[in-house]
Amino acid sequence: MRRRRRAPCRARPGRCRLRGLGQAEVTGSTWSSRFRVHHRVADRYRNGRLLLAGDAAHVHSPAGGQGMNTGIQDGYALGRAIAAGRLDAYEAQRRPVARRVVAFTHRMTRVATARNAAARAARNIALPLLGPRPVPGHIGPSTSPGTAVSSRVSSTVSNCRSS
């Protein structure tokens, strides 16, 4: 079976015009929809035997790339809390992290979707100046809002490591 080649733009051929190097103008579309961004954190992560983690506990924009990481860390922290029999500590540990991530992604979304022409111009000048940054050797709570999970290794895991 032969694969079809895609047009240079995601719109159908003839519905996309190249304006310059790396720039395109979409002149029509077959289908479109709206994406609404919501920023929310659950009031409680535990109600009796019901426990929330990940997207059930916090919803926010994908800006900043912290959503999946925060959800995975919630699951990890919840597993540790269940194993240790300390479910009440889970919310106290994870809810502040989610609040920081939601606040951070809210700010990122506001910058990315600025409507004011002066704010957009300032953003477009500042971002290239910041440029790509090297990834730090250690990412901790002080450098990224969604990374406040203890990195201690349990005795079960340390016993499984090969020498």
pLDDT tens digits along 86-125:
998 999 999 999 999 999 888 888 888 888 989 888 888 8
Residue 132 lies in a domain: no
Burial of residue 90 (number of CB atoms within 10 Å: 0-12, 13-18, 19+): buried
- In whole angstroms, what is the distance from residue 60 CA to residue 99 CA? 10
Residue 69 lies in a domain: yes
pTM recorded for the entire structure: 0.60
What pLDDT, in 10s, does the model give residues 35-48? 778 889 999 999 99
Residue 102 lies in a domain: yes
- In whole angstroms, what is the distance from residue 150 CA to residue 103 CA? 22
Residue 29 lies in a domain: no
Tokens at 162, concatenated: 């090969």
Residue 131 lies in a domain: no
Structural domain boundaries enclosing 92? 36-123
CATH number of residue 66's parent domain: 3.50.50.60
Residue 8 has pLDDT above 80, yes or no: no
Residue 49 lies in a domain: yes
Which three-class secondary structure state does DSSP give residue 50? Answer: strand
Total number of domains in the chain: 1
- Residue 87 and residue 71 in contact, taking contact as beta carbons nearer than 8 Å: no
Residue 116 lies in a domain: yes
Residue 32 has pLDDT above 50, yes or no: yes
Lowest average pLDDT, out of 56-60, 78-82, 118-122, 153-157, goes to 153-157
Strand partners, 5: none
Q: Which residues contact 42 (CB under 8 A, 6 or more apart)?
A: 52, 56, 57, 58, 95
Q: What is the mean pLDDT of residues 1-11?
A: 50
- Residue 9 and residue 16 in contact, taking contact as beta carbons nearer than 8 Å: yes
